[in-house]
Amino acid sequence: MAREYGVHMKGGVITERDADYCTVRVRLPAGILSVEKMRGIARIAKKYQAGEVHLTTRQTIEIPHIDHRMLAKIAKDLAKNETPIGSERDEIVNITACPGTDRCKYANIDTIALARELDSRLFGREMPVKVRIALAACPYACTSPILNEIGVVGRIRPLRVPGLCTGCGTCAEYCKECAIAIKNGISYVDESKCILCGVCVHSCPFGLLKAENARYLITVGGRRGRHPILGRELVEVATPGEVVDVIEKIIYWIYRRAWSGRLLSDQLDDLHFEAFKKEILAAVEPEPGNSVAVE
């Protein structure tokens, strides 16, 4: 559980250049809030004489230029609005997610529900390093999950049933990886080029292309900043529950083994990431159709 701090020490309270004032960051899992709560934030910002709010890269809202003497009061008002103060320090910060299957035509997984579940279990947990978690519903990866300490990408593998393909070429036209070719009226996939985005499945005008159930690729150790680093692939699992289980294992591993003062990406080898990966993979069992699941 997250340690209880005085409001001045909460990660979502950020001291500004003028140290008498703070920016207050709000907790918004996946950047989703109702219009009523949005109105509430606007009323609170106006009440404390903030003429504007700031939308952050981690899908949260910041209220700037708050007098430090007002922090306890604004924290109380935000909590009443069910948009409490967020986090920014060495802890698990706001979890980001793309719209997922709720709205996006390219989505393979429900990212919003998964983000909310992860937030309810993990948000604000004190850690030796800052941990960012980002979810993307497909390999287009709009939330840049591979540039976060923990990333999740939804993927599907196309299945072609012999004798059904009409050879119309629509899937080949829509494939941005040039991984599909039509030969003798039949579509063929170059597995070395396919990124499992599922666009070909969604684009088939006759619904003849099928797909395996969605998969969840989990990566660890990415970062943005001055020297960006891509996260390393850890495991691919089959269900949201397995994603939560694996991420909780990652969080426990980081908490027990990581050192403060260094980004996670800089210490993966020192933390024996490959050995940890073997531990995770050892719990993975093949299922019919070459799928995997974490027990």
- What is the reported pLDDT for 51? 86
Give whole-number Cα distances, 120 to 115, 117, 140, in Å: 9, 5, 26
pLDDT in tens, the chain (295 residues): 444 456 766 778 999 999 999 999 999 999 999 999 999 999 999 999 988 999 999 999 999 999 999 999 999 999 999 999 999 889 999 999 999 999 999 999 999 999 999 999 999 999 999 999 999 999 999 999 999 999 999 999 888 777 778 888 999 999 999 999 988 888 888 989 999 999 999 888 888 888 888 899 999 999 999 999 999 999 999 999 999 999 999 999 999 999 999 999 999 999 999 999 999 998 765 444 443 333 2
What is the model's pLDDT at position 172?
92
Taking the C-alpha atoms of residue 277 and residue 110, their distance in angstroms, rounded to an integer, is 25
| Domains delineated in the chain | 7-80 (3.30.70.3340), 96-156+213-294 (3.30.413.10), 158-211 (3.30.70.20)
Identify which of 248, 277, 271 has the alpha carbon closest to the alpha carbon of residue 259. 271
What's the pTM value of the predicted model, to 2 decimals? 0.89
Q: For the segment 37-90, what is each residue's pLDDT rounded down to a tens digit?
A: 999 999 999 999 988 999 999 999 999 999 999 999 999 999 999 999 999 889
Q: Return d(Cα 124, Cα 62) in angstroms, integer.
A: 17
pLDDT, tens digit (0-9, with 9 covering 90-100), for 63-78 = 999 999 999 999 999 9
Q: Which amino acid is at 2?
A: A
| pLDDT computed for residue 284 by the predictor | 65
Whether the CB-CB separation of 33 and 70 falls below 8 Å is answered with no
The pLDDT value given to residue 295: 27
What was the pLDDT predicted at 9? Answer: 65
**96/98 Cα distance (integer angstroms):** 7
Contact 100, 112 (CB under 8 A): yes
